[in-house]
Amino acid sequence: MDENRISSGIQGIDEMLYGGIISGHIIGVVGPAGSGKTLISLQFLHSCLKQGKKCLYISANHNEKELIKNSRIYGWDFEPFINNKLLDLNSLEPVLTSKFLDELPIIVSKIKTDIVIVDPVTDFLLLCQDEIESRSRLFNLFKIIKEYRATALITAESDVDSSSTKSGIIEYAVDGLFINRRIQSADMNEIMHVIQIAKMRWTKHIREIRQYDFTDKGIEVYSKYNVLLGDTSETKRK
Ligand SMILES: Nc1ncnc2c1ncn2[C@@H]1O[C@H](COP(=O)(O)OP(=O)(O)OP(=O)(O)O)[C@@H](O)[C@H]1O
Ligand SMILES: [Mg+2]
């Protein structure tokens, strides 16, 4: 892989990016509840750790024990990386009050890492009084990440019926944006998950909507999708 690129840990996404995530980029992953934001972030985390990168993972809705235990289901064991100090796993779940607003940038600025992951940043923005505060707090957080030249993945919730976040700020602030959506198959029998790279500054990327699935090894993004026929068998990677 190009030394300026970092694998997302998901082969189908790396393909859509003609390589991987550009080092130093802040990537937003936007999607409704249950669309795989946490899994994408954990899969990226595990892949970065395997590449020897120092990582900071901040969860706003799962505690550390829960994350470590459930990640094992997919074959991702984070404990050795915590023990050898390659991974700093933080849960901000107990401080989901206005303290969160100050706590998040403090943690990011104290722990200098190659990779910063925040899942999700939604509450951080919801706790702000107004749009001006959300913008300034988010831009300040991103400024800290950029100062350290870290590469970041930030998830955010979108409404089920829309592909954008409530505030819409994340979409503008990030360098790259993955949008996860749920759609119904033509025969109405199946709900399918699709992903699109809506933007990726400074590089070309595939704009097609691609289907993905949840597997016992995490997220798998297929090379094409065929929703209109309601038949994905021909298009799946395997
Ligand atoms: N092994 C598996 N096999 C099939 N589906 C799975 C598997 N593991 C997870 N899922 C699916 O993944 C969904 C959860 O994904 P994840 O927690 O990453 O979503 P999320 O976007 O972070 O959700 P939230 O907004 O609630 O935090 C589950 O609802 C389930 O549909
Ligand atoms: Mg989640």
CB of 39 closer than 6 A to ligand 1?
Answer: yes
**4 Cα: distance to centroid of ligand 1 (angstroms):** 30
Going by alpha carbons, the residue nearest to atom 15 of ligand 1 is 36
Give the integer Cα–Cα distance in Å for 129 and 178.
27
Q: Quickly count: other Cβ atoms within 10 Å of residue 226's Cβ.
A: 17
Contact in structure between 20 and 6 (CB atoms under 8 Å)? yes
**90 Cα: distance to centroid of ligand 2 (angstroms):** 15
pLDDT at 231: 46
For residue 224, what are its two tokens? 């094409």
pLDDT at 232: 44
For residue 40, what are its two tokens? 């994408």
For residue 223, what are its two tokens? 């090379």
Sorted by where each begins, the domain ranges of the chain are 5-182
Q: For 220, list phi and psi in degrees, rounded to 5.
A: -125, 125
Ligand 1 atom closest to the Cα of residue 73 is: 1
pLDDT at 175: 98
**149 Cα: distance to centroid of ligand 1 (angstroms):** 30
Per-residue pLDDT of the chain (238 residues; tens, 9 = 90+): 677 999 999 999 999 999 999 999 999 999 999 999 999 999 999 999 999 999 999 999 999 999 999 999 999 999 999 999 999 999 987 666 767 888 899 999 999 899 999 999 998 888 899 999 999 999 999 999 999 899 999 999 997 777 788 778 899 999 999 999 998 877 778 888 999 999 999 999 999 999 999 999 999 999 876 554 444 444 444 4
pLDDT at 2: 74
pLDDT at 234: 41
**203 Cα: distance to centroid of ligand 1 (angstroms):** 30
Q: At what angle do helices 64-71 and 37-50 cross, to 10 degrees?
A: 80
Q: SS3 for 112-139, per residue?
A: CCCEEEEECCHHHHHCCCCHHHHHHHHH
Amino acid at 192: M
For ligand 1, mutation pick of 37, 166, 192 (most atoms within 8 Å of CB) = 37
Going by alpha carbons, the residue nearest to atom 11 of ligand 1 is 214
Q: 5-182 in CATH: which number? A: 3.40.50.300
Going by alpha carbons, the residue nearest to atom 24 of ligand 1 is 33
- Among 205, 211, 215, CA closest to 224: 211
Ligand 1 atom closest to the Cα of residue 41 is: 18
Amino acid at 71: S
Q: For 145, list phi and psi in degrees, rounded to 5.
A: -60, -45
Give Cβ neighbours of residue 57 (< 8 Å, ≥ 6 apart): 41, 42, 45, 67, 87, 88, 89, 90, 117, 119
